[in-house]
Amino acid sequence: MKISVVAPIYNERENIKALIECVHQAMNQGDYELILVDDGSSDGTPELVRELAHDRVKLVELTRNFGQTAAMAAGIELASGRYIATIDGDLQNDPSDIPAMIAHLDSGRWDIVAGRRAKRKDGFLIRKLPSRMANYLIRRLTNVTVHDLGCTLKAFRREFAKNLGLYGELHRFIPVLAEQQGARILEVDVKHHPRLHGQSKYGLGRTTKVMSDLILMVFMQRYLRRPIHLFGPLGILCAGTGTLINLYLLVIRLMGQDIWGRPLLILGAILFLAGLHFLSFGVLLEVQMRTYFESQKKRTYTIRGVYFGKEKSYRYQTPETSTDWSSMLASASEVGLARNPKLTPS
């Protein structure tokens, strides 16, 4: 399999048929698969996908709404293509841009190709302006050169997509996560269309989430592997300042002056104790990070089922240890259920 196209979908029943057809036309009936990850839709989206029973479509149905990041992570995990492209399910991204992005990956010069919505068809105050401000702030704080981090349309080499470690709401920071791996990223202009059906899942309410995630990303980028480098200097600064204040107060006390009740005494004690807390916190985080990197990864979603067309369907059972689900599912579709005890009939 050369290309896996991953599309998280949530209540996109009116768009899903057109999405499948557009992706099929864009791929020119080539060697590809379309992985639709249903994120707990309540409008009958997964039922329609199964009715359409397209032979290039793999439906991944999550047990509830886990969010776009988790849905994208599930699709990427189950992708079997050498290249993996991600796209929104509302057809605002144009699947016809994918072949050109894959061609850039084929050149061998780039590991990730990120789309940039050159003529974005969204409202200025509610969508464009907050997006521009957030993108500018993210670029300044993370030193990533990508201008449109919110564009879902991206293409990856398999090894980089599989190692993104997506969780929470971090799909917006994929270029930042990829750059931490040393990925070579190219940004290209892509087409953007107005939404024709359904309601947008984005709004001003996501701004606080983006800001919170940005703080997390700055910490992860600079201090994730060595948190003591952040909390250590803070602890030393606070403890050192508190110590100097207390030494000053000790000197004037020895000179016969009364220091009890002075605000400076309270400040010195607080700074000294805060310094000790920062140092202790840094050491604890350092130990926790080492434990995290040595432990197995935990999934942030649960899959109800994986469906191949209409007839073949399998119920997903979460394995006790990490499993290569893409190879397991490929094996299930080729040699049958009996040789894959992790998959049972739905």
Phi, psi of 97 (to 5 degrees): -80, -15
Tens-place pLDDT, residues 264-275 = 888 888 999 998
Phi, psi of 47 (to 5 degrees): -65, -40
> What average pLDDT does the chain have?
80
What confidence score (pLDDT) does residue 299 get? 67
Average pLDDT score over residue span 170-186: 87
**What is the percentage of the chain residues whose pLDDT exceeds 90?**
34
Instruction: Confirm if 310 and 50 have CB atoms less than 8 A apart.
Output: yes
Instruction: Identify the band that residue 205 occupies on the pLDDT scale cut at 50, 70 and 90.
Output: low
Domain borders along the chain are: 3-223, 228-294, 311-345
Average pLDDT score over residue span 281-309: 70
What confidence score (pLDDT) does residue 278 get? 84
- DSSP secondary structure letters along 53-114: --TTEEEEEESS---HHHHHHHHHHH---SEEEE--TTSSB-GGGHHHHHHHHHTTS-SEEE
Cα separation of 288 and 280, whole Å? 12
Closest CA to 276 of 218, 236, 332, 230: 236
Tens-place pLDDT, residues 122-171 = 666 666 777 788 878 888 888 888 888 889 999 999 999 998 878 777 88
Asked whether residue 208 carries a pLDDT value surpassing 50, the answer given is yes
Average pLDDT score over residue span 108-123: 86
Tens-place pLDDT, residues 65-96 = 988 888 999 999 999 999 999 999 888 899 99
* Of the listed ranges 49-63, 109-123, 135-149, 301-315, the one predicted with least confidence: 301-315
More confident residue, 336 or 327: 327
CATH number of 3-223, picked from 3.40.1440.10, 3.10.105.10, 1.50.10.100, 3.90.550.10: 3.90.550.10
Asked whether residue 229 carries a pLDDT value surpassing 70, the answer given is yes
Instruction: Identify the band that residue 323 occupies on the pLDDT scale cut at 50, 70 and 90.
Output: very low
What confidence score (pLDDT) does residue 196 get? 72
User: String of b and e for 166-191 (b: at least 16 CB within 10 Å)?
Assistant: bbebbbbbbbbbbbbeebebbbbebb
Report the range out of 25-29, 87-91, 291-295 with the highest average pLDDT. 87-91
* Of the listed ranges 161-170, 184-193, 224-233, the one predicted with least confidence: 224-233
Assigned token pair, 102: 């894959």
**What is the percentage of the chain residues whose pLDDT exceeds 70?**
77
